[in-house]
Amino acid sequence: MTPDQSPLGKATAYTEQYDATLLFPIARRTAREQIGIVAQLPFFGTDIWNAYELSWLTPRGKPQIAIATFYVPADSPNIVESKSFKLYLGSFAQTRFDSIDAVRDTIRRDVSACCGATVSVQLTAPMDFGKLGLEEFDGLSLDRLDLDTDVYAPDASLLKAATDEAPVEETLYSNLLKSNCPVTGQPDWGSVQIHYVGPQIDQASLLRYIISYRTHTGFHEQCVEKMFIDILKACQPVKLAIYARYTRRGGLDINPFRTNYNTPMPDNLRTARQ
C-alpha cells in the first residue's frame, strides 16, 4: 500500500456511517530503507496523534464530541495515512454507539489492526477540555541565531560537532521546521526539540540542517527518523531524543518522538501554533 494509492490528493466521497475499511496503512519499511535502516531499529518511541473532529450519536440520537489521542508505537509495521484517518473518524458522525467507551474500543481495535500493533487510545470528553493546556518546548531556542542559509533540501553535511572536546548535555529546539506532504505537496509546519548527550553540536549548523527540510517531501514520522539518523551519524551523541510537534491539518496533528535511551515519554501538550 503506497501513498499514491491512498485517498490523498483525490476527490473523495465522505461517509457519515461507520466504516473501518477507510483506514489506509502505509508500511514504514520503505522510507526506513531509504535512510539505511534495514534491520534493528536504532531508536524506539511513539507517534502521538491528536484528533479534534470526532463526533457520534447516542442510542437516542444525540450528538456527542470528544478529542481523541492515539499512541502508535514506533516499531509498528505501518502508519495510518492521515486523510484516510480523517475519513474514518468522520464516518462516526451519524453512527449510534452505546457509550464513549464503545467508541474508544472500536477505534482502538480498528487502528491497531491497521498499524499492525497495539495502539493506545484516549478520548477526552468536553467536561475535561479545560484540563488540556498549552506548553512550548523547553531548552535553548536555535531560532535566536542570526545566520545566512541557502540550503532547502536535507543535507547532513551541514551538521558539525566538537568531537574532540568533552561531552555535554543540551536541549535545543526550533520552530522553523517545515516539510511537505509527499503526495499533495501541501506544507507541513512544525517545531522540533532535540535533547542529546555527547560532543557539543554546533548550533548554527543544526539550525541550518533543520531549515534544510523546507522543500523536502516526507511524512512527519519519516522526517523525524531521518533527522535522528543524520544527527546520530554526523554528531555521534551517546544519547539522543527528538520530538516534533506539527500543526494540525484536517483536524489532526501528528507528533513523533524518537529516542535511543530510556527517558519518559514527553507530555502531549499542544504548542500555541497547534
Query: Could you report the per-residue pLDDT of 176-222, keeping only the tens digit for each?
Result: 999 999 888 899 999 999 999 999 999 999 999 999 999 999 999 99
75 is catalytic: no
Query: What tens digit of pLDDT does each residue of 239-268 get?
Result: 999 999 999 999 999 999 999 999 999 999
Q: Give the pLDDT score at 7.
A: 57
How many other CB atoms sit within 10 Å of the CB of residue 146?
6
Residue type, 172: L
| Mean pLDDT of all residues in 224-238 | 98
pLDDT at 3 over 80: no
**pTM confidence score:** 0.93
Q: What does R_g of the chain's alpha carbons equal in angstroms?
A: 19
Residue type, 111: V
Task: List the catalytic residue out of 181, 223, 230, 235.
Answer: 181
What distance lies between CA 35 and its chain's CA centroid? 18
pLDDT at 10 over 90: no
Q: Give the pLDDT score at 1.
A: 63
How many other CB atoms sit within 10 Å of the CB of residue 248?
16
Q: What b-and-e string marks burial along 82-114, b requiring 16 or more CB atoms within 10 Å of the CB?
A: bbbbbbbbbbbbebebeeeeebbebbbebbbeb
Q: SS3 for 89?
A: helix
Give the C-alpha separation, 264 to 257, whole Å: 11
What is the percentage of the chain residues whose pLDDT exceeds 90? 92
> Which residue ranges form the domains of the chain, and what is each CATH number?
3-131 (3.30.1130.10), 140-259 (3.30.1130.10)
114 is catalytic: no
Task: List the catalytic residue out of 110, 114, 115, 188.
Answer: 188
